[in-house]
Amino acid sequence: MPSTQMVFADRASHREWLLAQSALPAGFRVGCSRFDFTPAEAPKPARMTLTLVALDRPSPDFAAVFTRNAFPGAPVTVGRGRLAGPALSAIIINNKISNVCAPGGTEAAERVCAETARLLGVPADSVLPSSTGVIGWGLPVGAMLSALPGAVAALSAGSVMPAAEGIVTTDLYPKVRRAAVGAGSIVGIAKGAGMIEPNMATMLVYLMTDLAVPRAELRRMLSAAVEPSFNSISVDSDTSTSDTVALVSSGRVPCPDARAFESALARVCSDLAEDVVRNGEGVRHVIRVSVVNAPGFGAARALGKAIVNAPLFKCAVAGNDPNVGRLVQAIGKHVGAHDPGADLSGMRMRLGGVEIFSGGAFRLDPGKEAALVAHMRLAELYASAPPKNGVYSPPVDFPAHERCVEIEVDFGQFGGASAVVLGSDLTHEYVSENADYRS
């Protein structure tokens, strides 16, 4: 699927475009409430945002996919149970603390849901909880319950922007995508910047639609849509314990065309997934790997992931250094470990459209080197700014362009499967963000 990434000159024009995308489908309202608190585990003040997404009436038509991490957060465990329930009325989301492996985490999530349900006048098991932030700490349940009435009072139809802005943590900007189908629409928001190699879904993604699509169809379509989108990206190879993609329909608008809906859903997921990579922690280059003529989709995607997760290659990209030897290292490590008998004699590689490898050997010369460097420089989202007090920070907080470092790997099995994987470089900005994130 081709990219529909947008180009912006500054944060103001980006925000204007986001607002234009943010019209809520019929039947939804969103509201936020912010408050200060002090975590019990490491006493230092913090600010939490509660974000509430509410349906005007409970809907049986909803779907959700969750992380495959073996230590899922309490909200994921509770959310899996919700899938068996009759209807969804609301989603209550908090940032700062992810409620993962915290003593009493499930009870805490259920208490927040119950109070949300009481305030909205709906059943407690129709509220989906969602949390993101530090792993291991407990939710400040008392403070959250006190703040909930504020979120309910703030509920408003019109724009999804308050929710898109409410759910972020280290994201530089909110992420909103919209697709129209007939008289209705699908609107999605996402958060996620680090700990991003989703294995089912990226950290937190909420998709709202007013188009009437039955539960079973929604679930099938969502499962299909996450594979080439959220499950085909990686910022840092870390799979979050909180990954969640939820899709809910208010059923207000008849769906004129199921295939158009499915296609629009796939587009929104694909766009949000690229937004997540493009706004990944410390990302200065987005890398797009296209693997073709591979033995299967799984093998193609796994090879693409192996490339975008190889630290030395990621560092070379950060430095605009076409160190293609590290690309071959990454491919060779992956194939050697997972398919040691594979015939690689027909493998070909291109970087920025330039053939660099075929017939088992590199095809390099100084002219190609110069072209590769130019391609990488052009794909740099921003030039690294000198650190302040030892900390590197991105000088831009909007998507500056839509270009990628383009890698094509032809596995050499004519007529085989293909996959596209999006990843990123490894930069000083990423290390600065993560070597002292929590303290």
Catalytic residue IDs: 202
Stretch that binds its own copies, among 88-96, 160-168, 324-332, 393-401 (CB under 8 A): 324-332
Element (H, E) at 212: strand 204-212
115-to-30, 124, 144, 269, 319 alpha-carbon distances in Å: 17, 8, 10, 31, 51
Burial 240-249 (b: 16+ CB within 10 A, else e): bbbbbbbbbb
- In three-state secondary structure terms, 297 is helix
Contact 122, 52 (CB under 8 A): no
Q: How far apart are alpha carbons 227 and 236 in whole angstroms?
A: 18
User: Closest Cα to residue 177, out of 156, 200, 207?
Assistant: 207
Residues 23-52 that bind its own copies (CB under 8 A): 41-43
Taking the least distance from each CB to its own copies, the nearer of 61 and 380 is 380
Q: How far apart are alpha carbons 374 and 160 in whole angstroms?
A: 39
Contact 205, 245 (CB under 8 A): yes
Q: Is 315 near its own copies (CB under 8 A)?
A: yes
Smallest distance, its own copies to C-beta of residue 265, A: 26
Q: Is 377 near its own copies (CB under 8 A)?
A: no
207 contact partners, CB below 8 Å, separation of at least 6: 186, 187, 188, 222, 245, 246, 247, 248, 265, 268, 269
Q: Is 107 near its own copies (CB under 8 A)?
A: no
Q: Is 386 near its own copies (CB under 8 A)?
A: yes
Q: Is 301 near its own copies (CB under 8 A)?
A: no
Contact 421, 292 (CB under 8 A): no
Taking the least distance from each CB to its own copies, the nearer of 3 and 434 is 434
Q: Is 330 near its own copies (CB under 8 A)?
A: yes
Tokens 């831009």: give the residue.
396
Q: Token pair for residue 95?
A: 């940032």
Contact 23, 50 (CB under 8 A): no
Q: Is 382 near its own copies (CB under 8 A)?
A: no
Taking the least distance from each CB to its own copies, the nearer of 3 and 77 is 77
Smallest distance, its own copies to C-beta of residue 437, A: 7
Q: Is 367 near its own copies (CB under 8 A)?
A: no
Q: Is 134 near its own copies (CB under 8 A)?
A: yes
Q: Is 417 near its own copies (CB under 8 A)?
A: no
Q: Is 390 near its own copies (CB under 8 A)?
A: yes
Smallest distance, its own copies to C-beta of residue 370, A: 10
Residues 193-252 that bind its own copies (CB under 8 A): 194-195, 197, 199, 236-241
- In three-state secondary structure terms, 407 is strand
Binding track, positions 56-95, relative to its own copies; x by CB under 8 A: -----------xxxxxx-----------------------
Taking the least distance from each CB to its own copies, the nearer of 261 and 411 is 411
Smallest distance, its own copies to C-beta of residue 335, A: 4
Q: Is 428 near its own copies (CB under 8 A)?
A: yes
Q: Token pair for residue 13?
A: 């024009």
Taking the least distance from each CB to its own copies, the nearer of 222 and 316 is 316
Q: How far apart are alpha carbons 61 and 2 in whole angstroms?
A: 30
Indicate which single residue of 345, 366, 414, 415 sits in contact with its own copies (rule: CB under 8 A).
366
φ, ψ (nearest 5 deg) of residue 434: -110, -10
Q: Is 369 near its own copies (CB under 8 A)?
A: yes
Indicate which single residue of 2, 84, 365, 415 sits in contact with its own copies (rule: CB under 8 A).
365
Indicate which single residue of 78, 102, 144, 187 sits in contact with its own copies (rule: CB under 8 A).
102
Stretch that binds its own copies, among 47-55, 294-302, 322-330, 410-418 (CB under 8 A): 322-330
Q: Token pair for residue 337?
A: 């470990």
Contact 262, 411 (CB under 8 A): no
Smallest distance, its own copies to C-beta of residue 409, A: 12
Q: Enter the DSSP assignment of 138.
A: P
Please tell me the count of residues contacting its own copies according to CB under 8 A.
80
301 contact partners, CB below 8 Å, separation of at least 6: 231, 232, 291, 419, 421
Indicate which single residue of 255, 268, 302, 331 sits in contact with its own copies (rule: CB under 8 A).
331
